[in-house]
Each structure stands twice: as structure tokens, then as C-alpha cells.
Amino acid sequence: MEVIVEDGLARLTMKRVALKMGFSEPAMYRHFKDKQDLMRGMIRRVRERFFQIVDQADFQAPPREFLEQTLCGLMRYLEEVNGVTILFLSDSTYNRDESLREELLEWFQGMVERFTLFLEGAKSRGETKPDLPVRGAALSIVGAIQCLTIRFVLGGGKLSITGPCKEVVDFLSLGVSG
């Protein structure tokens, strides 16, 4: 990820990654067939970390607590691993490659599914508004993650991504809780 932060996606090469990691370029090609394969691997790794953060949260917790665990946990991860935000948002990640677009869509859908699952459970326990459109609320939560990520990227990594997390959690909790 450091190579992405330092040079951007356009200048990401197998050679640069190999040098940064202390490998030979041929060693990189033993693990990844090309740059796109490397990017798919990075997306999968980050996607699995995102899923892990959400899956480790307490799905029985009240909505505000669950949202704080997940959203603030995800924002901490994004702030620590700066290159993820570029990989996540850059149109050069997905505009030119259908397989990368599919990887990112799987990531997005997996996040929506996880938040939908939580909200359905919370709704069945009477912890949300009775008329809560669960899927729409899940999409809004994932949209909040993207919004905070955009703010971080546009701020050149200087604006805290975790700072406004609790404010966003408060706002989302008002829309979700009964």
C-alpha cells in the first residue's frame, strides 16, 4: 500500500512493489501474473479485513453501539493503512478492468449484506424504527463509509477520518433507532 500512497496507482508497477518489499521482480511474478492480479489481491485482502472488522462486532448490541464498533473500527483501519483509501476510490482501479470492478462490487455488496443482517436483527428485537427500510439504511451506512473516505482522500490524508466518526454514528443512530 505504501507504493500507492507514494506514487499513486498510475505509477504502481510490479518492479516498484518488489523493490519496496525487498523481493526481486521475478519473485513477484511467481505470486501475481501482472499488475491487475496484484491489485485484485490487494482488494481481496482489504475486503477481508473490512469484513472481519464488521463480523467481529457484537451483532446483538444496540444499533448505536454496533455502528460505533463497526464504522469507527473501519475508519481506524483506513487511517492506519492510507493506501486503501486510494485503492478504494480511484477510478483507475475499476474504470479499465472489469475484474477489478467485480472485486470492488463484491466488497460493496458484502458490506451492505452485513449491515442489512444486523439491522434486520435489531428491527426484530424492536431496537429500530418499526418502519425502517432496512436495505436503504444499510446502503446509507456503507455510503457514510465512502463519504468519510472521500473526505480523507480530498484532504490529502491530513483530515482525520476517525474524528467525525462519532458524529456520523450519532446521525445514523437517529435515523435507525426507534
Which pLDDT score, from 0 to 100, does residue 113 have?
98
Q: Are 59 and 117 in contact (CB under 8 A)?
A: yes
Residue with cell 445514523: 172
Show contacts of 93-99: CB within 8 Å, 24+ apart: 93/9, 93/39, 93/43, 97/36, 97/39, 99/36, 99/40
**pLDDT mean over 114-122:** 98
Task: Please tell me whether residue 76 adopts helix, strand or coil conformation.
Answer: helix
Q: State mean pLDDT over 85-112.
A: 76
What is the amino acid identity at position 165?
C
Please determine, for residue 67, whether its predicted confidence score (pLDDT) is greater than 90: yes
Higher-confidence residue of 84 and 41: namely 41
Question: Tens digit of pLDDT for each residue in 26-66?
Answer: 887 888 888 788 888 888 888 999 999 999 999 999 999 99
The whole-number average pLDDT for the span 142-154 is 85
Say what the pTM is. Answer: 0.83
Q: Where are the domains of the chain?
A: 42-176
Residues 65 and 173: their CA atoms lie apart, in Å, by: 9
As separate numbers, helices (DSSP H) first and strands (DSSP E) second, the chain gives 11, 0
Measured in residues, the chain has a length of: 178
Top-ranked range on mean pLDDT: pick from 29-33, 149-153, 163-167: 163-167
In percent, the amount of the chain with pLDDT more than 70 equals 84
Query: Average pLDDT of 74-95?
Result: 70
CATH code: domain 42-176 is: 1.10.357.10
